Amino acid sequence: MPQNITPAAPTDVMPKLISMAFNEQMRYESLINQDYPDGSSDRAPLVEFPRSFFRIAGKLMPSQWLALRNFFLSHKGIPFYFYFGRETEPPYTVDMTGGSTDGRYTVVFDGQYSENYSPGRAKGDTYFGQSQSTFQLREIE
């Protein structure tokens, strides 16, 4: 492996408002060749240990959606820290300085980004709208 690859140096942390909306998936990335006429395949792992991927678990409130969208637009291709709530100490806390290592992952946005936003309706001073954003976070370290 080349010795001139520098590790990611994140300087920002995903806000707690939106980081609590994610759930975790563990994956072994692998190379799969399925080009044989008899339907057989060759498989080779690309990693020794599973990587964490994080996806949004449900629908977002308008304030979460706007915060996520602004954060995404300002961090395309830029690594940042993400705190996974159930692994932090105390649980579901986010250190906005990035100093705490409990539950902290260095991630980038991965895959295509798509969003659906429903304006909803207002009832009194409460606003009922919902949105669905689709993308994932990929652990890079």
The span from the CA of 55 to the CA of 53, in Å, is: 7
Token couple for 83: 């705190």
Q: What's the distance, CA 59 to chain centroid?
A: 15
pLDDT digits (tens, 9 = 90+) for 4-37: 667 778 889 998 888 877 888 888 878 888 777 8
pLDDT digits (tens, 9 = 90+) for 108-138: 888 777 776 666 665 554 555 556 666 778 8
Token couple for 139: 């652990």
Which residue has better confidence, 62 or 137?
Answer: 137
What are the phi and psi torsion angles at 24 (to 5°)? -110, 145
pLDDT band at 79 (very low <50, low <70, confident <90, very high): very high
E strand map for the chain:
22-27, 30-33, 42-45, 51-56, 80-83, 104-123, 126-139
Average model confidence (pLDDT) across the chain: 79
